[in-house]
Structure 1
């Protein structure tokens, strides 16, 4: 294979990439969102500068992907933290766990999503929408919400899921030092909200050393939503380079 051919292949392995070379389109992406108040000191310990924290809030999410081009159906769960950067309000993606390796590899390599493998689920059980996350055989999160108790304004639902999203991209070098370390930004713009609901909710987080969601403890549930959408994820853009000027 010629060097120029190698340069045109941006995935690993070289001849059998882990994910499809396509921009994924999500059809019937179903969200369970539970926003809760947490310990502000715990937030400050995990949110990188130059992002700023306002209220000490966290959004626990479970997303059931009905169909995704290139990946097929899968489920994902994680935590997002409301932040601001230079006056722009958004969310910092703190943790993401999913049951699809191609989507995990693509999210980490092509973008900066903090994805690792886990076993999330989103089901309806006896009048409750139930989102769970397991790591191995152990439960690390359980969220419950009254199933379709009250309609949520679709404009509000759209606003919830289209805020700017910030992520930390780190690529280690062969010497053990970071080769790339950037704060990046993206935003969902191509979205259609099909259903939107709200209702009472509860959230339990269980301590696990390899899935430390409980390090951001639940002090009070603030709000919850259940949203069904079609959407396409945008690419990312760097907004801060941690290595620029380092060592100078």
Structure 2
């Protein structure tokens, strides 16, 4: 309220943000981050915009309490694994940045405006995949290569691993729908593959397995239809020959 008695809204005093349709309290993420390693002195989580991908991401900035024997890559992997185990996927930061010191304002609080910009080029190569965060895996089969090229176009990146999680790359339901539409159009898939399945199985390797399973099932169904067409008498009910015991049973009841 100002001197004239007017109430002025200047924004939130907490740090609740909205990301991909989800409301997130960054303070909850920061509490988890502090528990990821006893080497962490303080941390802050902010939302940053990736111009190339045109997507917002959560970025975790970390200040260490002391210099550790663990290299930065291993520590970041440890932090990422801890967050994945204690947070929903949509709350896990896309990238973690280690700073010598977090910038502070005159009140001794973290000055979020002075935090350095995130280097998304590094993130897009490594990602924060749950299983192998820092291991790049090339596509091997023709189908893996086709889906790999598709994902590169969808995310607008030059390199990504086939075991990277779709959502760790900044994916959302709209991008997932694009993938589903492509899969259905190019692999003649039916409704057996849906958004829910793609959500649960969210890597290129996962999608390859889903598609192969559907293709195999479709091939089996096609062979079954062909067999039925060749063996079933059209216009007449199909019957199986009776076993000898069934014949005697039928004859017994026919006598009454």
Normalization by structure 1: what TM-score? 0.29
Relative to total residues, which structure has the larger helix share, 1 or 2? 2
Normalization by structure 2: what TM-score? 0.28
Relative to total residues, which structure has the larger strand share, 1 or 2? 1
Structure with more relative contact order (C-alpha pairs < 8 Å, separation 6 or more): 1
